[in-house]
Amino acid sequence: MHAICFVGQIIGIISIFAALLFVIAKLISFHCRSPVEDGYGYAVLITGCDSGFGHQLALCLDQKGFVVFAGCLSPEGAGAQSLMRRSSSNLKILKLDVTSDEDVQQAKRMVQNNLPAKGLWAVVNNAGISDWGEIEWSTFNDFRNMVDINLFGCIRTSIAFLPLVRAAKGRMVYVSSIFAFFNCLNMGAYSVSKRGLEAFADCLRVEMASFGVKVSIIQPGNFGQATSILKMKSTSDIWEKLDDESKRVFNRQYIELANEYFIMSCKSGFKGAEMVISAMLHAVTAAQPKTRYLLVSAMDRFFFQLIPFFPTAVTDAVLSLSSMYAKRKEMLYSK
Ligand SMILES: NC(=O)c1ccc[n+]([C@@H]2O[C@H](COP(=O)([O-])OP(=O)(O)OC[C@H]3O[C@@H](n4cnc5c(N)ncnc54)[C@H](OP(=O)(O)O)[C@@H]3O)[C@@H](O)[C@H]2O)c1
């Protein structure tokens, strides 16, 4: 009899405990529920929507019910026009060259005058360009142009729109790259711009935490075939830009080889942008967005996750093991 009572008590205690756990879990999930599971009443601004990730994200967020302000470099161009055709009337195309103060201020006025009830929830700083070439093949203007768009363009846009996002306790999203932390041949100017961008986003995250604004960094690997980012150039395009000294050091055969290598590595990348778009969506809509989204193949993930923790001497040594690095060393100064 005693034993039966004891078992009954245990079952009762376990049931009460399970019910309590259920209620606590419900309370936690309620508190973690994103305020924007559907986007109705909220707006998002995305830069660089003429093509690529920005274009695709704009369509996705439009379908989710957000008012999308799609910043386009060329509002009359084919990309912006196709976006307009494929979206609802909630999507508005804005002329937005992120290097222009005037465009950014004009875009801000347009956003403020057309804000839905719940305000500006997120800014996705996506606009960007890419180029490749050794530092000694580049001019100061090559660096300036890259940094003007990829870094200062994001800073200019962020400063203008932060008060609106702060008011909504929303999200700031920055599209960086693995080249923000992965140092390799030919990506000097791009790396400078993306590393600077991450420093900006990291500092902003610390400052915005007390306002309830969350800041996320998207780090795509090789998605060159999934967007319009790659602008191919010929060996002659590079060669003609070099001065006599650089021609002597990096002979034409090496530049030919470097160009072939670049084209080949681009072909090995992802063919679709789905992984990047779902990370961007998560950063914009999830209750607990990540601070960083590393978007590389499962095979590369381990390597890229470890890189930032290795001593510089080790990462430099690993990179110098690549066959391209060895060929380059042999070919420099050769006739
Ligand atoms: N694709 C990849 O493999 C990859 C990898 C890592 C990071 N990313 C980053 O992802 C972001 C989006 O690039 P994407 O791959 O989607 O390439 P994309 O198709 O070329 O898209 C970039 C967009 O930015 C626009 N843009 C260029 N200069 C601008 C300016 N001054 N102001 C406003 N918009 C400007 C481009 O307009 P136009 O089309 O008129 O030039 C284009 O619509 C970039 O920040 C890029 O660095 C891409």
DSSP category for residue 218: E
Given the CA of residue 125, which atom of ligand 1 is nearest to it? Answer: 45
CATH numbers and ranges of domains, the chain: 39-331 (3.40.50.720)
CB-based contacts of 209, cutoff 8 Å, min separation 6: none
| CA-to-CA dists, residue 264 to 13, 222, 276, 298, angstroms | 65, 12, 22, 20
Residue 99 CB less than 6 A away from ligand 1: yes
Distance from residue 193's CA to the centre of ligand 1 (Å): 13
Give the residue, out of 229, 232, 277, 296, with the most ligand 1 atoms within 8 A of its beta carbon, to mutate for a pocket test: 229
Determine whether the shortest distance from the Cβ of 191 to ligand 1 is under 6 A.
Answer: no
pLDDT at 156: 98
Distance 117 CA to ligand 1 centre (A): 30
The token duo for 2 is: 């005693």
Residue 189's Cα: distance from chain center in Å?
17
* Terminal C-alpha separation, the chain: 100
Across the range 295-310, mean pLDDT stands at 94
Tell how far the Cα of 127 is from the centroid of ligand 1, in angstroms. Answer: 5
C-beta 75 within 6 A of ligand 1: no
Distance 226 CA to ligand 1 centre (A): 11
Mean pLDDT confidence for 241-246: 94
User: Could you tell me what percent of the chain has a pLDDT over 90?
Assistant: 83
Q: Is 223 in the pocket of ligand 1 (CB under 6 A)?
A: yes
What is the predicted pLDDT for the residue at 37? 77
Residue 93 confidence (pLDDT) above 60: yes
Give 219 or 1, the one with higher predicted confidence: 219
CB distance 80 to 49 below 8 Å: yes
- Angle 294-128-273 from CA coordinates, rounded to 5°: 45
Which residues have a Cβ under 8 Å from the Cβ of 173 and sit 6 or more positions away?
122, 123, 124, 125, 126, 215, 216, 217, 218, 280, 283, 284
Mean pLDDT of 322-328: 90
Q: Which atom of ligand 1 is nearest to the CA of 190?
A: 47
Q: Is 228 in the pocket of ligand 1 (CB under 6 A)?
A: yes
Instruction: Supply the DSSP symbol for 93.
Output: E
Contact 319, 183 (CB under 8 A): yes
- Structural contact between residues 218 and 210, judged by C-beta atoms closer than 8 angstroms: no
Provide the annotated active-site residues: 190
Q: Is the CB of 98 under 6 A from ligand 1?
A: yes
> Residue 318 and residue 295: Cα distance in Å, rounded?
21
Report DSSP letters for 46-79, one per residue.
Answer: ES--SSHHHHHHHHHHHHTT-EEEEEES-TTSHH
Average pLDDT over residues 278-307: 96
The answer, as to whether pTM is greater than 0.95, is no
Does ligand 1 come within 6 angstroms of the Cβ of 57?
Answer: no
Sheet with 67-72, edge to edge strand ranges: 91-95, 67-72, 43-46, 120-125, 171-175, 214-220, 292-295
Among 123, 217, 203, residue whose Cα is nearest residue 170: 123
Each residue's pLDDT tens digit, 29-87: 556 678 887 899 999 999 999 999 999 999 999 999 999 999 999 999 999 999 999 99
Q: What is the pLDDT of residue 18?
A: 75
Ligand 1 centroid, distance to 168 Cα (angstroms): 27
